[in-house]
Structure 1
Amino acid sequence: MEKEISHFWLGYFKNEEDFYDFVEEDERYYTEEENEDLYVSKFAESQHIQWFDYDFVEYGFEEESLGIYEKFTDYSYADQWLPAVERKINEMGLETPVNAIIFTSRHVIPKPVSVNDEEYALYYIGEIAYEI
């Protein structure tokens, strides 16, 4: 088995539409190529990187009232990384409701950061290694 190391973020967004507006690719990035001020997504902008390959990212919006395992068990290799996510939540004392997850291969985002905005909160919880 191979080992993958990914960056993980947990977050809270007002609603599903706001989350997907934040994380999904902005088509203008591809259609207005001459505009060097565009980012591939609001998530990319929040991480201070104009573009990254979306083949190396997984994300989703879930019901905040569910437990961490119920929310995220259907994601790729969740059985491998969910215990580490739970441990990191406890270590951080994260009390904000969580309804969103984003994780990327570690090479995608060079300097991952947390972002707190009026509209959302996105917490970088670190790197997690798991078998694939």
Structure 2
Amino acid sequence: MKSREVSHFFLGRVSEHSKYNSFLEERYGFDDDIPLSKFCESQGEVFIDHDFMEIGSRDQESSLETFFKPYSYSEHWLHDVIKTAEEFELLDANVLLFLSKEEIDRPRTVKGDGFELIYMGEFSYPT
């Protein structure tokens, strides 16, 4: 069992939640060469194991700290992610997505219709 996890973190601004949800939605079929979701495709991946990914939306009135608290191991990473959000001018972010580093080789920022998902970097934390 690993004693540390490294995850890719994304924060975003979403104005069209239905379009963002469609972007994340998994599409199952019989062709293993077709990306599982538009998110997978945007990251240059065919498959991302969503068991190693957490996503969420923020209530407008909550702080980032309050928003992050329910997520896995947040007590170890939330202050670093908030500091980075300040540097990226993303204190108004209303979505969070993070996943194990092994799931994406070259993570990147994505801008779609009604949303933007900004790659914040890798964060390491004890598990």
Q: What TM-score range do you get, normalising by the shorter chain?
A: 0.7 to 0.9
Tell me the equivalent position of 1:5. 6
Number of equivalenced pairs: 126
- How far is the alpha carbon of 1:2 from its aligned partner? 0.8
Identity between Structure 1 and Structure 2 (%): 33
Letter in 1 for 2:93: V
Unmatched runs of 5 consecutive residues or more in structure 2: none
Aligned match for 1:92, one of 80, 83, 88: 88
Structure 1 pair 117/34, CA: closer, same or farther in 2 (3 Å)?
closer
Letter in 2 for 1:94: L
The TM-score with structure 2 as length reference comes to: 0.87
Tell me the equivalent position of 2:55. 59
- Give me the whole-angstrom Cα distance separating, in 2, the residues matched to 1:100 and 1:107: 22
Q: Is the 8 A contact 2:11 2:90 kept in 1?
A: no
Structure 2 SS opposite 1:84: helix
Unmatched runs of 5 consecutive residues or more in structure 1: none
Superposition RMSD on alpha carbons, in Å?
1.9
Tell me the equivalent position of 1:110. 105
**Bigger CA drift: 12-21 or 79-88?**
12-21
